[in-house]
Every structure is written in C-alpha cells, then in structure tokens.
C-alpha cells in the first residue's frame, strides 16, 4: 500500500464548476499537508499548505484536512481554464525530512 493515494484522473470540468481533489494517506505522523500545482513542462509550485487538521482558504481555493479519516481535499471554486494543471498532494512529518507526494490529478477546465 502506498503512503499516499491520489486518483490520477484526468478530471474534466466546465469553466465555473467547483472542483474537488482528494488524497488519502496511511501515516498518522504526517503534520503538514500541502497541495502543489504543476503546469505542463514546469516544476511543481506550492499552492497551499495546512498544518494538522482543519480548513484553510485562499481566494478560490480551500484546503481541508481530516486527520481522523486520513483524508485531505482541495476545492477550487469558479474554476478557470488557467486552473488546468496537475495537482499533487504532499505530506510532511517534522520529525523527518521527506515529503511524500501523491501521483497527481490532471485537471482540465474547459472554456
């Protein structure tokens, strides 16, 4: 079993839709939960991070962490064609140094 599971998609939605991206994980020691966005032929860039459980909102993006279920989500409201990218969840334990990445979900937002 992988430490982090993420559906690779692709996920195709119309412009303006609400997008839900999810990951599950198995290691309860993870404390930081991140979402990276990767455009084609570019390196990933950190979109949002959450420490421990709870929600965090930044503009059209909301990250949720449910540690009891070992489940994290990223919601994108009013999705735009410019949101078309691969979204990778990632997790980090401050007791270590290694960030574990999900496989990434490819998102296409159609105009």
Partner 1 sequence: GAGVSQSPSNKVTEKGKDVELRCDPISGHTALYWYRQSLGQGLEFLIYFQGNSAPDKSGLPSDRFSAERTGGSVSTLTIQRTQQEDSAVYLCASADSGYEQYFGPGTRLTVT
Query: Where do contacts with partner 1 occur on this chain (CB under 8 A)?
Result: 6, 8, 32, 34, 36, 41-46, 49, 88, 92, 94, 97-104
In 3D, which of 68, 75, 73 has the Cα closest to residue 33? 73
In 3D, which of 70, 93, 86, 78 has the Cα closest to residue 35? 86
Do 88 and 6 contact (CB within 8 A), yes or no? yes
CB of 78 to partner 1, least distance (A): 26
Closer CB to partner 1, residue 43 or residue 59?
43
Closer CB to partner 1, residue 8 or residue 81?
8
CA distances from 72 to 41, 42, 81 (A): 26, 24, 24
CB of 55 to partner 1, least distance (A): 18
CB of 6 to partner 1, least distance (A): 8
């Amino acid at each position: 079993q992988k430490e982090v599971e993420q559906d690779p998609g692709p996920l195709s939605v119309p412009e303006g839709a609400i997008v839900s991206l999810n990951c599950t994980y198995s290691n309860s020691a993870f404390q930081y939960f991140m979402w990276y966005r990767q455009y084609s032929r570019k390196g990933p860039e950190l979109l949002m991070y959450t420490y421990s459980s709870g929600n965090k909102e930044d503009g059209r993006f909301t990250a949720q962490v449910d540690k009891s279920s070992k489940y994290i989500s990223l919601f994108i409201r009013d999705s735009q064609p410019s949101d078309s990218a691969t979204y990778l969840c990632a997790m980090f334990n401050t007791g270590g140094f290694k960030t574990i990445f999900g496989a990434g979900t490819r998102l296409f937002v159609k105009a």
